[in-house]
Structure 1
Amino acid sequence: MVNTTQRPQPATPIWEPDPSEAAHSRIARFTDFVARRTGTTYADYPSLWAWSVQDLPGFWSAVAEFFDIRTSGAWERVLDDAPMPSTRWLPGARLNYAEHALRTGDSRDTAVISVGEDGTTKLTTWAELRGQVGALAGWLRRQGVRSGDRVVGYLPNTLHAVVAFLAAASIGAVWSACGQDYGADGAANRFAQLEPVVLFAADGYRWNGRQHDRRTESAALRAALPSVRATVHVPNLGLATSAEDDVVRWEDALAHPAECVFEQVPFDAPLWVLFSSGTTGTPKGIVHGHGGVLLDHHKLLGLHLDLGPGDRFLWYTTTNWMMWNMVVSGLLVGATIVLYDGSPTHPGPRRLWDLAAKHHVSVLGVSPGYLQASAKAGLEPGRDLDLSALRILGSTGAPLPAQSYHWVRDHVGPRVQVSSTSGGTDIVSGFAGSAPTTPVWPGEISAPLLGVALEAFDADGRPVTGEVGELVVTRPMPSMPLYFWNDPDGSRYHQAYFGSYPGVWRHGDWMTRTPHGSVIVSGRSDSTLNRHGVRLGSADIYAVVDELPGIRESLVIGAELPNGQYWMPLFVVLEPAHELTDGLRDALASAIRTRASPRHVPDTIIQVPALPHTRTGKKLEIPVKRLLQGARVDQVAGREAVDDIAALEYFTRFAPSTAGTGSPTPDLTEHTP
């Protein structure tokens, strides 16, 4: 059994559904629809969820019918009886993701709002979007691109990426994208695995008020991909294109108007390849299918986030991250998607709130770090901006501390629902989140998502409630990967998720199912803190430390050293003009002791200039732990997988000495709290 210190459970929710609003939500209409189909009344969300995981064929066929997911071909079963990961969904059915993404909106309405960091804004109607996709798909066909071929984009988060993806998907080609903060080598480490036939490459991107010319990197990437037959130059910054014969200007690729024609592909035909961060080796290519994504994203966006025509959907992301794919799927339910290409804090920390107000955003997605930065900056979005359209504030990427829920209520608005979500690139979706009919408790995720048989397992593989366990999924989900790229026997896929509990998906997170049905995710189970035999979640420490004045960010590591000692240091990045004095160390230790537990107090508190993250902003706990145990930088992470390689290299100074004493070097006695 896993032991851990549990945070106190709040007596009452911080947010509860308004009965009138909940009654008019899509999930309420879906519940009535299901009741008519099954002859059973579902009085609340827990009863609907229980049915959704007990009767997978009934639930997912109801989702398909409710959202009018159109298939051709003969199919008789929603899923076969094969255990995970061999389960097949709707065998025999054929469909196309892009057809569903482009079918909904009125031609004159806005489908996409594209905003650059410099403020340049472009509105694209549904008719214009369909026209661009049709023209580009026609050009791809003329290049000989066929169903199953790979098309890749070295692109920022602009309209070009959406059009290129939908054009590729419409003909059954497989898409993959990489942001331009990656260099040519990092992008090639991903794309070369796929042997793509067409490359879309932008001339550059904007970040923190600067233009970044990426024409040289784009040329180097093209040279590293010998399978590429044609390259499309995308004029994001308006820089001149090269004169090579195989380089085509974006406007020329769209020069010949054509109607959209959608190739009907098998339900499990690959739609896109997303890549793991690459911090533990060569990035894994994770393949998802047209049909599974259609089912899951309709459910998540339409039922859980209540998105539909007339809504505007902005989630801060880059093309590297699965949330980009989720934003594009907003088109599936007829919502207007808002793309922002730039820093979320330029020219100031209010940037995303300003965008939400200006464009009347219904659902805004941010990171826990952005909410904490907004609080520390003293922002008052609810007072200073018109956020009357905002219904849901989403957060993902890391556990959201309880104080952020209170800050949203007090400074954004009491009727804004905080939707903290746990999911991942692996499933390009979520495991747990919220719905218009679920309460919200501070520091907790409201509930498992519909259709997700989510449990916390103890070491013996038994479900537990009120205790920390491994986050597992015991029944198939349609958006689970089809396979890993270049994994012909499926061994890497099986080992990644099914090596611990046969037939059960283990995700690698610590999770608690609370008695009132919510979920608490407390960090990665493979970077566990273990003090005197008690396992602790790093999220409990971050929730205390990162909100304290003067602390910009923190990282806690538990490392078993060669001499047999266990060392648990806390590294902090301070705000400008702050120093790590003895008084601040004492204050940090006291706050952790009081608000988490005495076991959570670190052995050492050390100031560092910066912390390393993945390209999607996750703290690199495991690579830093391995450095502290004596590994080399090149053994723990690929350079292109890290946002700041110098920040990672800095931690090598805390590794055991070469003399084999196991003592951290340099001497850290002055850092002990």
Structure 2
Amino acid sequence: MPAITNDTPLWTPSAQRVKNSQITKFQTYLGQSGDYKSLHDFSIKNKTLFWKELIEYYGVKFSGNVEPVLLEDDFDNYTWFMGVKLNFAENLLHAGSDDHIALNAQNESGISRKISYKDLRSTVASLNDYLKDFIKPGDVLAAYMPNIPETVMAMLSTSALGGVFTSTSCDFGIEGVLDRFSQSNPKVLVAAVGYEYNGKYFDLTERLKEIEARLPNLEKILLVDFLGKGIELDGFKKAIRFDDVLKISADLNFVQLPFSHPLYIMYSSGTTGKPKCIVHSQGGTLLGHIKELGLQTDLTKDKKIFYFTTCGWMMWNWLMSSLYFGAEVILYEGSPVYPSPEHYFKMIDREGINIFGTSPKFLKALQDTEANFQTEFPSLETLLSTGSPLLPEQYDYVYEKIKKDVQLSSISGGTDIVGCFMLGAPVVPVYRGEIQCLGLALDVTALDEAGNAVIDREGELVCRGTFPNRPISFLNDDYKEKIKAAYFNQNPGVWTHGDFIKITSRGGVIVYGRSDATLNPGGVRIGTAEIYRQTETLPFILDSLCVGKSRDGDVDVLLFVKLKVGEELTAERKKLIKEQIKKNTTPRHVPREIHVVGDIPYTRSGKKVELAVARILSGKAVTNIEAIANPECLKEYERFL
């Protein structure tokens, strides 16, 4: 198969950037030298030492003893740092200087709020004083909220009290919210009475009344009115205004709990059955994010970081850990392309943002609209992307149209680990179509169908050793059947993540898509991203999706295309699509059928929903409709049964 990368990097870090990076300083602290591969090898061979030294280097606040670092080096039980007690919120709030901005909240209406670390600590203290009568260690607080400061305050207060935080975004309907929160059983709900998106206001009041009535263990609702529309308490039985809770000042206290104490309940975005409820530990989440944000993203107290995310995506949780470094965290609520596709980049320039995170879908929207940037973004040093594989042409676009001297860091992992298996590093070059490197202290490899670890060949992503930010459990899974089925039954003893990847000989990673969406015509495994890399270079195609359909003991590849306005799919263009795919991949990749559709289904976190369409084509129901951002488009696919 032709290479999608070449040996000439698109970006190489300067000697000064390498020298000043946190990862170089940490390597020196460890008494090590050499390139990133040397450090990665060291972190695999000396895994427990790596995590112990990370705690000491970054000054994690804890009590107890870090030894033993790991009691059982397997995935059967969670035995990391069993002698350590800490509090997640205390660690996030301790570093920021009083007058330094903690949260810089922006929205599409132009409303701007800046909250200092001093004010954030004070607000969390007041919220704690109220919530302590409801939230004890292990109790759940749920947020049905936009990406605004009150959501962050609720998370920090919950953690400070030893509670468990869970959240979903306001674009979920009633059933989507209840599919999640009816499983996590919150005692307290923090909810916005409305939100804005794409220039429209959405009133959630009636929706919240029904949610209140259908959550049996709910004791209190805190209602948030961040747009000044007013709150009407009539019709609620357990509601209070969020702002009323903050009127009494209080001391800020933190409950120290075991390293493995639950912090977050997060939800899978699958489209079959109710979402799985994944429980993450406070200590594992903290250490994983310190490594990924501090070492691999080079975040420090002097930098500003912004990731476009909702509270229903794990990137929100990841972004919040930036507070640990005393950095300024930019929050944004609204559409990324309203009032214009250039809107975000104007904000990057205006606010002096150093690290910006987005998705391939957003970058493609910029390409398609031919966004016009009128600045060179002097503050921007790192551009992160996740949600789906970043196509080679999108690498080209970033370096040709956005900025030449920027680290383009495609990152990949998931809600399952509330973090990344492969990501970037400020000391590693960027090659076209390739994630920079594997994460430190993660023994990740690609397995072929015979179970052999392979380099420069496609295979199943596995992690051969345990790591702190693995989930501690699934909810309602006393016998561990769900968690074993999700990660361990396919390859006993190792974590099987469900991604189809290739690790290159220089240490980078190419992601070909989800393993369960992998096509298998004639017994040859094909990642869907391999086909998208071809179709989405064609100027008349706006978007595409491919799935396999069983027929006569084999699998046909079906390609669905969404055309740009005014374009048609002629016989000549179908031939061109097939020739393009065959020329740059293999004859096995060529679709048997090509169909025009009005839209391509996506999850709310920007992933193409191949499995939902595959289920429709095999006559099966798509049950978790609320996980899909545009479920109305699925009806069209039924005609291809």
TM-score bracket relative to the smaller structure: over 0.9
Alpha-carbon shift at residue 85 of structure 1 (Å): 3.6
1:346 to 338, 345, 357: 338
Q: Which deviations, in whole Å up to 9, do the C-alpha atoms of 1:9-63 show, x marking residues without a partner?
A: 402221111111110011111011011xxxxx32110000001011111100111
| Counterpart in the other structure of 2:46 | 55
Alpha-carbon shift at residue 645 of structure 1 (Å): 1.8
Pair 1:315 & 2:301 matched = no
Maintained 8 Å contact 1:372/1:547:
no
**Size of the alignment, in residue pairs?**
639
1:328 to 300, 320, 325: 320
Distance 1:441 1:80, change over 3 A: same
Pair 1:438 & 2:428 matched = yes
| Counterpart in the other structure of 1:649 | 635
Maintained 8 Å contact 2:300/2:325:
yes
2:615 to 585, 606, 626: 626
| Counterpart in the other structure of 2:60 | 69
Residue aligned with 2:525, SS: strand
| Counterpart in the other structure of 1:590 | 579
Maintained 8 Å contact 2:17/2:427:
no
2:111 to 105, 120, 127: 120
Give the Cα–Cα distance (whole angstroms) in 2 for the partners of residues 24 and 506 of structure 1. 36
| Counterpart in the other structure of 1:228 | 218
Pair 1:166 & 2:152 matched = no
| Counterpart in the other structure of 2:508 | 518
Give the Cα–Cα distance (whole angstroms) in 1 for the partners of residues 533 and 189 of structure 2. 42
Alpha-carbon shift at residue 107 of structure 1 (Å): 0.8
Residue aligned with 1:240, SS: coil
| Counterpart in the other structure of 2:567 | 578
| Counterpart in the other structure of 2:606 | 617
Pair 1:545 & 2:545 matched = no
| Counterpart in the other structure of 1:496 | 486
Residue aligned with 1:558, SS: strand
| Counterpart in the other structure of 1:136 | 127
Give the Cα–Cα distance (whole angstroms) in 2 for the partners of residues 395 and 148 of structure 1. 33
Give the Cα–Cα distance (whole angstroms) in 2 for the partners of residues 455 and 82 of structure 1. 18
Give the Cα–Cα distance (whole angstroms) in 2 for the partners of residues 162 and 27 of structure 1. 28
Maintained 8 Å contact 2:342/2:372:
no
Give the Cα–Cα distance (whole angstroms) in 1 for the partners of residues 425 and 525 of structure 2. 31
Residue aligned with 1:509, SS: strand
| Counterpart in the other structure of 2:361 | 369
| Counterpart in the other structure of 2:147 | 157
Maintained 8 Å contact 1:234/1:249:
yes
2:455 to 446, 462, 465: 465
Give the Cα–Cα distance (whole angstroms) in 2 for the partners of residues 184 and 583 of structure 1. 46
Pair 1:479 & 2:469 matched = yes
| Counterpart in the other structure of 1:201 | 191
Which of 76-85 and 176-185 deviates more?
76-85
Q: Which ranges in structure 1 are unaligned for 5 or more consecutive residues?
A: 36-40, 656-673
Alpha-carbon shift at residue 386 of structure 1 (Å): 4.9
Give the Cα–Cα distance (whole angstroms) in 2 for the partners of residues 438 and 262 of structure 1. 39
Maintained 8 Å contact 1:85/1:494:
no
| Counterpart in the other structure of 1:15 | 11
Residue aligned with 2:388, SS: coil
Give the Cα–Cα distance (whole angstroms) in 1 for the partners of residues 570 and 118 of structure 2. 60
Q: Which amino acid aligns with 1:638?
A: N
Residue aligned with 2:97, SS: coil
Pair 1:268 & 2:260 matched = yes
| Counterpart in the other structure of 2:401 | 411
Q: Which deviations, in whole Å up to 9, do the C-alpha atoms of 1:144-169 show, x marking residues without a partner?
A: 32111100011011111101110111
Q: Which amino acid aligns with 2:331?
A: L
Give the Cα–Cα distance (whole angstroms) in 2 for the partners of residues 85 and 520 of structure 1. 30
Maintained 8 Å contact 1:613/1:619:
yes
Alpha-carbon shift at residue 373 of structure 1 (Å): 1.7
TM-score by length of 2: 0.97
Q: Which deviations, in whole Å up to 9, do the C-alpha atoms of 1:599-655 show, x marking residues without a partner?
A: 322111111011111121211111211211122xxx323221211222112211111
Residue aligned with 1:205, SS: strand
| Counterpart in the other structure of 2:526 | 536
Residue aligned with 1:532, SS: helix
Give the Cα–Cα distance (whole angstroms) in 2 for the partners of residues 567 and 428 of structure 1. 35
Give the Cα–Cα distance (whole angstroms) in 1 for the partners of residues 555 and 609 of structure 2. 19
Q: Which amino acid aligns with 1:620?
A: V
Give the Cα–Cα distance (whole angstroms) in 1 for the partners of residues 636 and 317 of structure 2. 34
Alpha-carbon shift at residue 223 of structure 1 (Å): 1.0
Q: Which amino acid aligns with 2:602?
A: H
Q: Which ranges in structure 2 are unaligned for 5 or more consecutive residues?
A: none
Maintained 8 Å contact 1:233/1:241:
no
Alpha-carbon shift at residue 6 of structure 1 (Å): 5.4
| Counterpart in the other structure of 1:255 | 247
Which of 609-618 and 573-582 deviates more?
573-582
Residue aligned with 2:30, SS: helix
Q: Which amino acid aligns with 1:161?
A: T
Which of 61-70 and 637-646 deviates more?
637-646
Alpha-carbon shift at residue 82 of structure 1 (Å): 4.3
TM-score by length of 1: 0.93
Q: Which amino acid aligns with 1:588?
A: I
Maintained 8 Å contact 1:203/1:233:
yes
Q: Which amino acid aligns with 2:527?
A: G
Q: Which amino acid aligns with 2:318?
A: M
Give the Cα–Cα distance (whole angstroms) in 1 for the partners of residues 341 and 586 of structure 2. 32
Distance 1:464 1:6, change over 3 A: farther
Alpha-carbon shift at residue 583 of structure 1 (Å): 3.2
Alpha-carbon shift at residue 380 of structure 1 (Å): 4.2
Give the Cα–Cα distance (whole angstroms) in 2 for the partners of residues 360 and 247 of structure 1. 39
Residue aligned with 1:557, SS: strand
Maintained 8 Å contact 1:286/1:484:
yes
Maintained 8 Å contact 1:278/1:637:
no
Pair 1:242 & 2:238 matched = no
Give the Cα–Cα distance (whole angstroms) in 2 for the partners of residues 278 and 558 of structure 1. 18
Q: Which amino acid aligns with 1:355?
A: M
Residue aligned with 2:581, SS: helix
Give the Cα–Cα distance (whole angstroms) in 2 for the partners of residues 85 and 218 of structure 1. 40
Maintained 8 Å contact 1:557/1:624:
yes
Maintained 8 Å contact 2:368/2:542:
no
| Counterpart in the other structure of 1:600 | 589
Q: Which deviations, in whole Å up to 9, do the C-alpha atoms of 1:550-573 show, x marking residues without a partner?
A: 322100111113x43532111011
Give the Cα–Cα distance (whole angstroms) in 2 for the partners of residues 623 and 506 of structure 1. 22
